[in-house]
Structure 1
């Protein structure tokens, strides 16, 4: 008993991030004994281990077999022939639409009269030919060969036939005269209508012409749409499909039942998992700084890239396989600056490790053939407001983040591969977001703030910002149709599902969008973060509190005060927890940086004490608020070296007191801590106000070279 997969009703389709689980119902009639059910047309990339069968009725599933077979193309050819016939009918309609109806009727009447005239002329010619035939026959008769009785009969027949043909000839002549008159009148009518049509075309308004053109374009667009859909279906048609053979044993209780061929009803439920289908989350974050509020629109983008069409199926989105990983660009983080004494075989300058940390050295631009670093990159004007170069970012968690429990398993036990890592995110105002574990090369610090040295141009994005180059697993990046919010959210432990209702999903390279929820975030605070030794810029950091909905890692479009600024990756966040987003560089805050400067100290020695060398280092950061609004919170981060050798001592000299409302915080963590030696200032800046933050520290050693460890 064969079934095609396209004819089976689709009960439900559950989308996971990279796969989809399809459930179909099969209502069958079976007879006593062994029954064979064949299901053709299953997607060739189906996960064979995921195929599951459940049944109800008077039968037992004894065996199932799967094999790859060539696809039957007869149904496709019939469908294409029907579409071609529809296109031909529309083409004829398009041709007739251009001719006015009165002219069409006049031409049709003229053709009818011309056909009638031809028929009348034929009748007249036939009557003439009949008379000529009788005359020739009579002239050919010989008196010696024809009896008198036969001659009388022929003459009588000749008179009767000639009278009949005369009437026929006369009637045809009258009909010809009438038809010629009507034809002449119709010809004048057709000519008149044609002239009127020509005049109406010439005198037609532009609006009427535009409407006619629009009509023709609509017909052409419909034809083009049908051709595009047909080509799209051909694109997803495989050359081979899987065939599922199901063997059912319908048991009988007695021999009488075995002899009875009465069919019995049974039901099968077929479920399987297919790739090239899935969904992903998308967010739109709208931040309003005057009211310190934020709204989040939670969207789902799903697609069917298989060879199957799921008609009237219950569509469900599931986060059970949501394994998201990737890199995120974040604000620079000061790692511990550890120094030690150099060994005997190491060559380096004195106090080298006290001048700059390894991260700071790697962030500095290196001259090329003796040229200053600022001249290495060619001049490149900003392609948008506040444009900044992009840098590579590191993961906000130090490594690729995965969902709780590691790699998520599929519904039928097969593991899902993690989603592809996203590209570096771009910050707001066209500036990239700096990563914690990677520094950016700063330029030489003049009296005023400078932007960092230009990086190679990535692909241009909105407002001059580099656009993230991301390979979308969803195929085409064309705008997807937006579906209104009507989903039902359900939570099952760590899994959240969204029921989108009934949908028909044909295979397509275009994804669909659905609004899952619109959230108002309860808390929002903004601050500027300055890490001058790694970047001469003030970066905006937003701290937001999540609502009661768990957020997945996803691309987020950020709008700041009604201005769309770009996209970036949002980290995953549990309900009611806080998360931070770097919004790029604030161009209204100028940052300049001077340092480090070296001041050699005097050598000291004691009777039982080894000779010591000392040096003092000074770094000065100047921050100025050029905007007309006060900055309620400004965070400046610096650091001093952390010695790992007992013969090296580091002493913080400045700041010693709290000035201008600044609060100095020196981390007291262990030397192995991530923030050992970090100095933090938290302050406020009024409009036009400028503040300096001075860091001075002293390093003492036994005279050997101090290196970064």
Structure 2
């Protein structure tokens, strides 16, 4: 007699019903500027053979194409299907509600009879007269009236209270039999086919993207004007809002500075043709890029997120080991997260309800270096404005956002922080410094004429500016900006006398260039700088920012500035002098 080996018999397909909120834990939230990626972990037991895992209560806004499944255990994932549960029928009645309505009707009838009896008693007493009632019987009649009326009043009060209680029960019952509001936004279902070689416990992580979740950056910038080094303290904060339908309770939160893009390709330039009196219209062709992967594994991201969730660290293993092989994955859709420029992990675990309200968290507090400077345009306004050139020496990418600026503990202003990469610098205005007092004296004008036959009019203008530093410390990098007029006519010549900066040519073809026609680079010109006094230099406006303006173009707008260092309790005087020659003298000059 021979024996034949037979493969083990698998049990018929089993169905496992899971409710997402009750039977899982969010072990990771990656929040982008316009969406969030949620990682939910489910633990359950499977039987030998095919198991159908039905997960209900996922958010309605879940993006089905982004859903991917990762698992661990001696099992294989065959397929994943996402669907939306149809709206349930809203019951209008129930046995309990019918009984309550019946009781209410009986109580209402009893109350009506009681009120009618009280009215009849009052009517009977009012109808008694001397002819109908002997005086000797009046006392007994009144006693009977009081006794009967007291009973009727007590019964009326009791019936009224019972009716109130019945009405409250009716309201509760009608709310109970209606579709629960908390399920209205959690009606997406996921069906996952899991084939297990042996009975045991497995883990499955659902990773999906949801919109209606966002975060924005905002800042507190605190400035210590007396600090020699690192005067800026920048507190990086995040305002987080989510209305996805599911609450994030005690979750590890990661903030991403990048924005995922889908179906975005490199733009193409269309053909640019010229023709005569004819028009050719056409439609632009659009190209879409996309793709789906079929690979499935238990990623390192899941391991990191699980290690951050203390609740799951102490859960019993239930027959599986951490080193069990990852599940194979067949036929499931996988969407990549894409690249990101920076990732912030909010310390600890946070809870953010699905209420659409902003919840604020501090990301990090940074101590940064900054160069303080003062700028004034006294011809327009004699106030000195403080500016900080802050260098982001941290590893954090700063997103654009608003900042509340505090100088020496006092709130000064609100400012805007641009997008700043690590090691990049940005300007932050800090308001007005009243301790820098600037006087813009009236201009002195002198007129003379020259020439015998063709007389010319010569105008000499002198402008004096006084700067008084009332601080107890020296103020460096104080920039005072002014201007001289620009001639728009060949009969008018403008010459700068003091400071002796060379006027550039504003006529086409007369300017120099650092690149000749053959493309050979000449030596790069340097901005003109003149020392007019100790600690004071004069230059054309923009000379201290040569990267933003070509050196050859400096002074074309006839704006110049002084960069000053003013000692404590010290004054300096700045002088601007220019000459305007008009030929012939009879010409009337506009704007002089």
TM-score of the superposed pair, with normalisation by structure 1: 0.44
- Equivalent of 1:530 in 351, 357, 376: 376
Asked whether the equivalents of residues 537 and 564 of structure 2 are also in contact (C-alpha less than 8 Å), the reply is yes
Which secondary structure state, in structure 2, belongs to the residue aligned with residue 500 of structure 1?
coil
1:678 lines up with 2:525 in the alignment? no
C-alpha displacement at 1:630, in angstroms?
Answer: 4.4
Could you tell me how far apart the structure 2 residues matched to 1:503 and 1:670 are? 53
Q: Aligned partners of 2:396 and 2:491: how far apart in 1?
A: 52
Instruction: Give the corresponding residue for 2:256.
Output: 318
Partner of 1:118: none
CA distance in 1 between counterparts of 2:353 and 2:556 reads 54
CA distance 1:251–1:23, change in 2 (3 Å): closer
Q: What corresponds to 1:21 in structure 2?
A: 37
Per the alignment, in what secondary structure is the counterpart of residue 532 of structure 2? coil
Tell me how far apart the structure 2 counterparts of residues 67 and 39 of structure 1 sit (CA, whole Å): 11
Determine the structure 1 residue equivalent to 2:58. Answer: 42
For the structure 1 residues 72 and 32, does the alpha-carbon distance in structure 2 shift closer, same or farther, using more than 3 Å as the test? Answer: farther
| 1:340-355 matches, cutoff 5 A | none
Please state which structure has a larger fraction of its residues in strand: 2
Aligned pairs, number = 373
Shift of 1:603: 7.5
Partner of 1:66: 83
Give the one of 542, 548, 563 matched to 2:394. 548
Equivalences for residues 281-360 of structure 1 within 5 A: 281-292=217-228, 293-319=231-257, 321=258
Matched, 1:622 2:560: no
User: SS at the partner of 1:658?
Assistant: strand
Q: 1:698 aligns with which of 570, 579, 592?
A: 579
State how far apart, in whole Å, the 1-side matches of 2:437 and 2:213 are: 48
Q: 1:71, 1:240 within 8 Å by CA — same for their partners in 2?
A: no
How big is the shift at 1:541?
2.0
Going from structure 1 to structure 2, the CA distance change for 1:550 and 1:59 (only over 3 Å counts) comes to: closer
1: CA distance, partners of 2:64 / 2:554? 50
Cα 1:272–1:701, aligned 2, differ >3 Å: closer, same or farther?
farther
Change (3 A) 1:673 1:630: closer
Query: For 1:536, what is the secondary structure of its paired residue?
Result: strand
1:363-418 Cα distance to aligned partner (Å, 9 max, x none): xxxxxxxxxxxxxxxxxxxxxxxxxxxxxxxxxxxxxxxxxxxxx325xx378xxx
Do the aligned partners of 1:36 and 1:245 also contact (CA within 8 Å) in 2? no
Number of the residue aligned with 2:188: 243
For the residues of structure 1 that align with 2:376 and 2:472, how far apart are their CA atoms?
A: 20
TM-score normalised to the size of structure 2?
A: 0.52
- TM-superposed CA distance for 1:15, in Å, is 1.9
- CA displacement at 1:13 relative to structure 2: 1.0
Is this contact kept in 2: 1:44–1:238, CA < 8 A?
no
How far off its partner does 1:636 sit?
A: 0.7
Is 1:670–1:676's contact at 8 Å kept on the other side of the alignment?
Answer: no
Matches within 5 A, 1:109-508: 237=182, 239-246=184-191, 248=193, 250=195, 267-292=203-228, 293-319=231-257, 321=258, 408-409=259-260, 413=262, 494-498=341-345, 500-508=347-355
CA distance change for structure 1 residues 549 and 317 in 2, over 3 Å: closer, same or farther? same
User: Structure 1 residues 706, 34: CA separation in 2 closer, same or farther (over 3 Å shift)?
Assistant: farther
Task: Report what 1:3 is aligned to.
Answer: 18
Equivalent in the alignment of 1:664: 538
Q: Return the offset for 1:237.
A: 4.6
Measure the CA separation in 1 of the matches of 2:540 and 2:431. 26
Output the CA distance in 1 between the equivalents of 2:381 and 2:90. 63
The equivalent position to 1:635 in structure 2, one of 474, 479, 492, is 479
Corresponding position of 1:651: 495
Matched-pair contact (CA < 8 Å) for 1:236–1:507? no
Counterpart contact for 2:344–2:363, Cα < 8 Å: no
Distance 1:504 1:639, change over 3 A: same
Distance 1:43 1:702, change over 3 A: farther
Equivalent-residue separation in structure 2 for 1:305 and 1:688 (angstroms): 57
Residue 28 (structure 2) pairs with residue 12 (structure 1)? yes
Q: Indicate how the Cα distance of structure 1 residues 586 and 28 shifts in structure 2: closer, same or farther if over 3 A, else same.
A: same
Give distance in 2, aligned partners of 1:518 and 1:606. 75
Q: Distance in 2 between matches of 1:587 and 1:637?
A: 18
Q: Deviations over 1:485-544 (max 9, x none)?
A: x99xxxx973233253444443345544444333333x3443321112332211112234
SS at 1:537 equivalent: strand
Q: How does 1:592-603 map to 2 (within 5 A)?
A: 592-594=439-441, 602=449
- State how far apart, in whole Å, the 1-side matches of 2:479 and 2:180 are: 56
- Are residues 34 and 526 of structure 1, via their aligned partners in 2, closer, same or farther at CA, if it must alter by over 3 Å? same
Superposition pairs of residues 603-622 of structure 1, within 5 angstroms: 615-622=459-466
> Which whole-Å CA distance do the structure 2 matches of 1:597 and 1:44 have between them?
75
Q: 1:585 Cα deviation (Å)? A: 0.8
Distance 2:181 2:404 in 1: 31
Distance, in Å, in 1 between the alignment partners of 2:90 and 2:20 is 14
SS at match of 2:21: helix
Describe the SS at the equivalent of 2:244.
Answer: coil
| 592 and 493 in structure 1: CA distance in 2 versus 1, 3 angstrom threshold | same
Q: Deviations over 1:570-603 (max 9, x none)?
A: 3344434444322111122233335667666648
Where do 5+ consecutive residues of structure 2 fail to align?
Answer: 1-15, 92-178, 265-307, 310-338, 501-530, 544-549
Q: Deviations over 1:328-361 (max 9, x none)?
A: xxxxxxxxxxxxxxxxxxxxxxxxxxxxxxxxxx
CA change 1:499–1:526 in 2 (3 A) is closer
- In 2, distance between residues paired with 1:42 and 1:603? 91
RMSD (Å), alpha carbons: 4.5
